[in-house]
Amino acid sequence: MPMTMAQIETEALNLPESRQLDLVDFLLVKCNDRQIQEAWSEEAEARCRAIDEGRMSTIPHNDVMKEMRAGRKDSILRKTR
């Protein structure tokens, strides 16, 4: 018997946060909705402009991954503001 939407939601919310984000990413890619693609494109362009204009900084990938593995994602967010 297929799972109900409520069961799927419960299961998804019980996943670790990193797996929830993986699920969101997977669903967004599978959804392939034009509005979602346009929104992500606009967001990427806005972030690139902010970096180019010095309004946003970047952090090397290895540093981000180290912080994420250590469970310190809040410190990453503070560094980019």
Q: Which pTM does this prediction carry?
A: 0.45
Q: What tens digit of pLDDT does each residue of 17-74 get?
A: 889 999 988 887 787 778 888 888 999 999 999 999 999 989 898 988 888 888 766 6
Domain of 74, in residue numbers:
5-79
Q: pLDDT class for 4, splitting at 50, 70, 90? A: very high
User: Could you give the count of Cα atoms lying within 13 Å of 30 in the half-sphere of its Cβ?
Assistant: 6
CA distance 28 to 11: 18
Closest-CA residue to 40 (of 17, 24, 61): 24
CA distance 40 to 23: 17
Q: Domain count of the chain?
A: 1
**pLDDT at residue 64, as a whole number:** 84
